[in-house]
Structures are given as structure tokens and as C-alpha cells.
């Protein structure tokens, strides 16, 4: 299958605003799916609710677009019943790290073999720009007009607390993003890819970014890619961490 | 084939589910429903997950169901409240599954070890939006076994979540049970991994979200309503015990109907087992009686709906705080008949 075959042209244009990072992430996912020969018989996508959570609907793979915060238990139900399927979640920071954080931690504790791709735009995009659990300290949003005073969730610490796979990338560093998604797909067990992405309309605009390009340039300057597989990433580093041995993707077609 | 044994109500639910082909159960411990979870762990053919809460449990059931497994969860009031959004999801993505609610006294934590019937309206209207759950409410251990199977069958036929109501009294009751076979319905829906479907909680037409099209929504809801009504028609389950010369019809269900049997020589009794959608035959039956009285363990939930169905006032006997007292019921019946409720 070529990359194009993973996406539904009849659904274009997407629901997303111009400049949104979500499109970059789904393109990277489609490229990885092609490399790994994922198809509608061996791979299923799951999401919660939010802008990012609309992603599965643009894929030709079978998918479930569930409830806000509940992508993880839906994915776990699927994986337990059909262990031969690759079950991949794609959803937002509010969805996975706010309302659904409980499930995320428990799934990583259970080491359920699901892949979680979190598009972290540090904002509740769909609902108009309220602070999210990953909004940085001091950042002004609709609901933090004086600057956010809640410390952001440390996703890496939570996931690595159970020795699960964690990788971080941005929508500027696309080769690394692809590498991270692929490593997560090839990991056997719970895997999380934390993708820092831009929401120019409901986040960047209020902070003085004039467009998505300026936000991407910020990612370029702020985040430092690390080489190889490391134990832990500093807050401004991106790359792959893993303590568990790697293994081949489960692909019933190549079995 | 039937066989007899002494069994607890909750265990009968577990056995019925296994017999009906259960392959997945996700739940969270809660009195008085936990024995269902405990029992199911004994069956290797059922994947049993003890999850972090009831929200995770119902959502895992939706995933498991779409993945091809017959799925069930069991809980009581507090957990049932948490599951409401997930029940709406299961209707929207048409995932067949069974939710067992072994009712206890609410609101809130209430009286965990005491049975109640306080969740009737929540069964019917608990999730937001318009949807139409099929709900069964048996009244004995034998029936719990049978109607667990029927609930699973109805779920398969309607591709929707079906609710099996129980209560702390019949759930924890041990009595001689006759386990009767029911023909099992197999899954008709193709499991995930067979095409290009997109199951979405948004208003949709097929695999396509139509979240801003009123006509798509009207069609979707009409379709869901028709589908569940058609299947419910195959499950017209009730018990009607008329008494010659009685001008009074007592309506009761679940644990309370067992108390109603004490009056069966004096008053006619109507016991809906498929309590939702409501049994249409009741309209015709009720016409034969001067007085209709509903007895239930809540402040008047089914009474409200019986009045709406019959378009006439009905008497009501509230049984609150887990107490069922025959003397009290007798007094209240007298009051209803003398018109001094
Ligand atoms: C139970 C529930 N609460 C609230 C909402 C409203 N809601 C929809 S999307 C969303 C936030 C999504 O944020 P995020 O997951 O970060 O996704 P983004 O839109 O930023 O991609 C909220 C609060 C909902 N749909 N369901
Ligand atoms: Mg977000």
C-alpha cells in the first residue's frame, strides 16, 4: 500500500484549521504504517474526543472514535480480545493526560500491548483554547488569563514509572517523529509517543505567534534531539527512551 | 435440557453468561454485584479484566465487543452512574453487550448491602440524548440465569447494550434453581479488522461523521429506535396472574414481585420482566381493573411511567430503605383501595 492508500481523500478537506499539526502527525503515521505493512486486517485505530481524536476517521484502517478520555480502555478491550491486531491510539493531551490520565497510567502498569500517539498541543483545542494538563507554567489561555499556575503533567515520569516505552518528538522534527512512531510500533508492550504539536488558532494566536511557521521555529529552537536510545529525556530533549528489549511488530500477514 | 441445583443469584448470572458464549468481562468490585466478577474468573474461556473503574470497564466492553467478543460488565448503582456515558456510546457505535446492575439503595453510596429498585429511570434515561435500551428484570435465581442468556441474545440481535437489572435481594439469594437452556444467538457483526469501517460516537451516516446535519441525526435516531423496538417485540416477557372477581391489579417486578405473590389469591398480579420498552399488553390488561397499584423499592419511578402508558392515575406503594414488610404492604393496599393514599 502506498501512503495515500491509508488516507481517505473523500473526506478532505479535514476538520482541522489551517496550520494545525495534526495533519503532519497522520502523514508520518501513514508512512510508518506503510513501512511496517500495516493494513486493515492487522491494524486498528482508536481515539477519544478532541481535534486530534478526529484523526482515525481520515484513515482507511478500521477505527473507533469513542468518548472523551476513554480511548485507552476501548483499545485495551480490543487488544485483549484480538492480540494479533496492532491497536494504535491517536488522541490529544487533554484527552489522554487530563480526563483519561487514570486509564493511561493503568494501561502502562498492565503493559497492555497498545501504542499511544498523543498529539500534545498544550491546549484544549476543540473547545476553544482552555488550559490543558500540559500547558506550561505562566502561559496565558482562555482559562488562565493571568498565566497558568498549574504545573504541567510529567508524562515521561508517569509512563516510565512502570518501565514502559516512552518517546518524544515534535511536528518540526519529522524524521525523528517517524522514527519514534516506528519504534513504538515495534515495541512489544505498552508504548507512548508524546508529540509536541502546534495549535496556531487556539494557542499560538493568544501568545503572539503570527502563524504555524513561527510555532514550528520555536520547536526547532527549543527542542534538542538526542541520539540513540536514552534512559530519560530532559524537558527540552526529544528522542526515544526504552528499558525493555525491542522485538518485531506482530503482523499476522507475515506470520 | 434442565437441571436443578442450589445457586446464588449473582452466580446464576455468571453461569448464564458463560452458557450464552461470554468471552469478555470487565468490571470493578462493588457490593452487591462482586460475586459475578468472582465467579467469572473461574472460566478460562472468558477474558476477565478487573479495571481501574466502571468507566474503563464499560469502554473496554465496547472495544471487546467491536473486536468480536460477547462482552459483559456488572455493577451496582454508583458504578452504573459512572457507566452512563459508555452506555450511550455503545448505542451510538452499535456494540452489542450486556450491563448487569445489581441495584442497591441510593442515592450516592446509600445502603450498599441493601437491595433497591432505584435505578429504573436511570436505565431508561440515564445517558444523555435519545436511545432505547432493552431492559430485563427477573425475580428468581432460575430467571437470572435464563434472562442473562436472553439479554445476551437480545444484545446480539439489536447490536445494542442490553441491561439486566437485578437487586441486592435476588442477587444474594440462594435458592433451588432450574437451569433451562435457551437457543443462543451468534454474532452477526463482523469483528474489527474486516474492512474500512469507522465507528464514531458523533452523529454519523455509516462511517462518515455528520455532526452538523439535522436530517442525518433524525435518521440515525429513528433507525436506532426502530431497531431496538423490532428486537424487543421478540422478547415480550411478562407474568400475568389474574384472579376471578378481582378489581385490582398489582404491578411488581424483581424482588418485590416475590412479596406481591403473597396477595395472589386476592388480587391479580402483573409482573413485567422485559421492563423496557414497557409491555404494551399492559394497556389492554389494565382496562379490566378498577384499580392499578404499583409497588416498587423507590419513590415512584415505574409508577410514573405506568401512569403515562395507561393515561390514568395508579396507586403506588413505596418500599424504601431496603425494607419489604407484608403488613405494611397490606395497609397500603387498603389505603389505595379506599382512596386515601
Ligand atoms: C465528558 C466530556 N467532557 C467534555 C467534553 C468537551 N471536549 C471535547 S474535546 C475537549 C478537549 C480536547 O482537548 P485535547 O484532547 O487536547 O484535543 P485537541 O482538541 O487539543 O486536539 C473537551 C473538553 C466532551 N466531549 N466530553
Ligand atoms: Mg490538545
Confidence label for B2 from pLDDT (cuts 50, 70 and 90): confident
CB-CB neighbours of B31 under 10 Å: 16
pLDDT of residue B3: 83
pLDDT of residue A212: 98
Residue A248 lies in a domain: no
Q: Are residues B8 and B119 in the same domain?
A: yes
CB contact under 8 A, A65 and B198: yes
CB contact under 8 A, A102 and B53: yes
CATH number for A104: 3.40.50.970
> How far is A17 from B303, CA to CA, in rounded Å?
51
Q: Are residues B89 and B183 in the same domain?
A: yes
Grid coordinates of B204 = 454519523
Confidence label for B163 from pLDDT (cuts 50, 70 and 90): very high
Q: Are residues B259 and B119 in the same domain?
A: no
The ipTM assigned to this model is: 0.97
Look at residues B235, B269, B303 and tell me which one is the last residue of a structural domain.
Answer: B235
pLDDT of residue A244: 55
pLDDT of residue A3: 87
pLDDT tens track for A51-85 = 999 999 999 999 999 999 999 999 999 999 999 99
Cell numbers 474526543: residue:
A49
Chain centroid offset of residue B271 CA? 14
| Counted domains in chain A | 1
For A215, the domain range is 20-240
CA A218–ligand 2 middle distance (angstroms): 18
pLDDT of residue A255: 42
CB contact under 8 A, B66 and A64: yes
CA B196–ligand 1 middle distance (angstroms): 25
Q: Are residues B210 and B334 in the same domain?
A: no
Grid coordinates of B268 = 391479580
CB contact under 8 A, A80 and B93: no
Residue A250 reports pLDDT greater than 50 = no
Of the candidates B243, B286, B20, the residue with the CA atom closest to the CA atom of residue B136: B20
State whether residue B32 sits within 8 Å of chain A by CB. Answer: no
Q: Which ligand is nearest to the CA of A51?
A: 1
Nearest neighbour of B67 by CB, restricted to A60, A78, A106: A78
Q: Are residues B188 and B246 in the same domain?
A: no
Q: Is the backbone of residue A171 left (phi > 0), alpha (psi -120 to 50) or beta?
A: alpha
Residue B288 reports pLDDT greater than 50 = yes
Q: Are residues B203 and B54 in the same domain?
A: yes
Q: Are residues B304 and B283 in the same domain?
A: yes
Residue A15 lies in a domain: no
Residue A75 lies in a domain: yes
The terminus-to-terminus CA distance of chain A in angstroms comes to 18
pLDDT of residue A243: 63
State whether residue B198 sits within 8 Å of chain A by CB. Answer: yes
Residue A245 reports pLDDT greater than 80 = no
Q: Are residues B178 and B247 in the same domain?
A: no
Angle (CA) B263-B268-B270 rounded to 5° is 105
| Counted domains in chain B | 2
Going by the DSSP 8-state scheme, the letter that residue A53 receives in this structure is G
Look at residues B235, B253, B278 and tell me which one is the last residue of a structural domain.
Answer: B235
For B248, the domain range is 239-338
CATH number for B246: 3.40.50.920
pLDDT tens track for B207-246 = 999 999 999 999 999 999 999 999 999 999 999 999 999 9
Residue length of chain B: 341
Write phi, then psi, for A144 (nearest 5 degrees): -135, 65
Look at residues B235, B259, B276 and tell me which one is the last residue of a structural domain.
Answer: B235
Q: Model's pTM, two decimal places?
A: 0.97
Task: Sort out which chain A residues have CB atoms less than 8 A from B192's CB and list them.
Answer: 44, 62, 64, 78, 82, 85
User: Under a CB-based contact definition with an 8 Å cutoff, are residues A134 and A153 in contact?
Assistant: yes
Question: What's the rounded mean pLDDT across residues A111-136?
Answer: 98
CATH number for B11: 3.40.50.970
Q: Are residues B290 and B181 in the same domain?
A: no
Q: Is B83 helix (H, G, I), strand (E, B) or coil?
A: helix
Question: What's the rounded mean pLDDT across residues A157-162?
Answer: 95
CA B65–ligand 2 middle distance (angstroms): 29
A100 Cβ closer than 6 Å to some ligand 1 atom: no
Q: Are residues B63 and B12 in the same domain?
A: yes
Q: Is the peptide bond before B277 cis (omega within 30 degrees of 0)?
A: yes
Residue A251 lies in a domain: no
Residue A143 lies in a domain: yes
Amino acid at each position: 500500500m502506498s501512503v495515500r492508500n491509508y488516507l481517505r481523500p473523500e473526506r478532505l478537506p479535514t476538520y482541522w484549521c489551517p496550520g494545525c499539526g495534526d495533519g503532519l502527525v497522520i502523514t508520518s503515521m501513514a508512512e510508518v504504517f506503510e513501512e511496517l505493512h500495516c493494513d486493515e486486517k492487522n491494524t486498528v485505530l482508536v481515539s477519544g474526543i478532541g481535534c486530534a481524536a478526529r484523526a482515525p476517521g481520515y484513515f482507511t484502517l478500521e477505527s473507533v472514535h469513542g468518548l472523551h478520555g476513554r480511548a485507552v480502555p476501548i483499545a485495551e478491550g480490543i487488544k485483549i480480545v484480538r492480540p494479533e491486531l496492532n491497536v494504535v491510539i491517536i488522541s490529544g493531551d487533554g484527552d489522554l493526560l487530563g480526563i483519561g490520565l487514570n486509564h493511561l497510567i493503568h494501561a502502562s502498569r498492565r503493559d497492555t500491548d497498545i501504542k499511544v500517539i498523543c498529539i500534545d498541543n498544550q491546549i484544549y483545542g476543540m473547545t476553544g483554547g482552555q488550559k490543558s494538563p500540559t500547558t506550561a507554567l505562566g502561559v496565558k489561555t482562555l482559562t488562565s488569563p493571568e498565566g497558568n499556575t498549574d504545573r504541567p503533567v510529567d508524562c515521561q515520569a508517569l509512563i516510565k514509572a512502570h518501565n514502559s516505552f516512552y518517546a518524544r518528538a515534535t511536528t518540526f522534527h519529522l524524521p525523528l517523529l517517524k522514527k519514534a512512531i516506528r519504534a513504538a510500533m515495534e515495541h512489544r508492550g505498552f508504548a507512548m509517543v508524546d508529540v509536541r504539536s502546534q495549535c496556531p488558532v487556539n494557542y499560538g494566536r493568544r501568545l503572539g505567534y503570527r502563524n504555524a511557521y513561527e510555532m514550528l521555529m520555536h520547536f526547532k529552537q527549543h527542542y534538542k534531539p538526542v541520539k540513540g536510545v536514552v534512559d530519560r529525556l530532559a524537558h527540552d530533549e526529544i528522542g526515544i527512551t526504552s528499558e525493555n528489549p525491542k522485538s518485531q511488530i506482530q503482523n499476522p500477514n507475515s506470520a | 435440557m434442565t437441571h436443578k441445583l442450589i445457586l446464588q443469584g449473582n452466580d446464576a448470572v455468571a453461569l448464564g453468561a458463560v452458557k450464552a458464549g461470554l468471552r469478555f468481562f470487565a468490571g470493578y468490585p462493588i457490593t452487591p454485584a462482586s460475586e459475578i466478577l468472582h465467579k467469572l474468573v473461574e472460566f478460562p474461556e472468558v477474558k476477565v479484566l478487573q479495571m481501574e473503574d466502571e468507566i474503563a470497564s464499560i469502554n473496554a466492553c465496547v472495544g471487546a465487543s467491536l473486536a468480536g467478543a460477547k462482552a459483559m460488565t456488572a455493577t451496582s448503582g454508583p458504578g452504573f452512574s459512572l457507566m452512563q456515558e459508555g452506555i450511550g456510546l455503545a448505542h451510538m457505535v452499535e456494540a452489542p453487550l450486556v450491563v448487569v446492575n445489581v441495584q442497591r439503595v441510593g442515592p450516592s453510596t446509600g445502603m450498599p448491602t441493601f437491595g433497591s429498585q432505584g435505578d429504573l429511570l436511570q436505565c431508561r434515561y440515564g445517558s444523555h440524548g435519545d436511545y432505547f435500551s432493552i431492559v430485563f428484570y427477573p425475580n428468581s435465581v432460575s430467571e437470572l440465569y435464563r434472562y442473562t442468556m436472553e439479554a445476551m441474545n437480545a444484545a446480539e440481535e439489536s447490536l445494542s447494550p442490553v441491561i439486566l437489572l437485578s437487586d441486592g435481594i435476588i442477587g444474594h439469594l440462594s435458592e433451588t434453581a432450574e437451569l433451562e437452556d435457551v437457543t443462543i444467538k451468534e454474532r452477526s457483526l463482523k469483528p474489527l479488522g474486516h474492512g474500512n469501517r469507522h465507528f464514531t460516537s458523533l452523529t454519523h451516516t455509516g462511517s462518515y461523521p455528520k455532526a452538523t446535519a439535522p436530517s442525518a441525526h433524525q435518521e440515525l435516531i429513528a433507525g436506532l429506535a426502530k431497531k431496538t423496538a423490532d428486537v424487543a417485540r421478540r422478547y415480550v416477557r411478562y407474568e400475568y396472574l389474574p384472579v376471578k372477581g378481582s378489581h385490582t391489579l398489582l404491578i411488581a417486578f424483581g424482588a418485590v414481585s416475590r412479596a406481591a405473590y403473597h396477595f395472589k389469591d386476592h388480587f391479580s398480579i402483573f409482573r413485567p420482566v422485559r421492563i423496557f420498552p414497557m409491555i404494551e399488553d399492559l394497556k389492554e390488561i389494565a382496562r379490566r381493573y378498577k384499580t392499578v397499584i404499583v409497588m416498587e423499592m423507590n419513590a415512584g419511578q415505574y409508577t410514573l411511567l405506568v401512569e403515562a402508558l395507561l393515561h390514568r392515575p395508579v396507586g403506588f406503594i413505596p418500599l424504601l430503605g431496603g425494607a419489604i414488610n407484608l403488613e405494611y404492604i397490606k395497609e397500603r393496599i387498603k389505603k389505595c383501595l379506599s382512596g386515601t393514599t
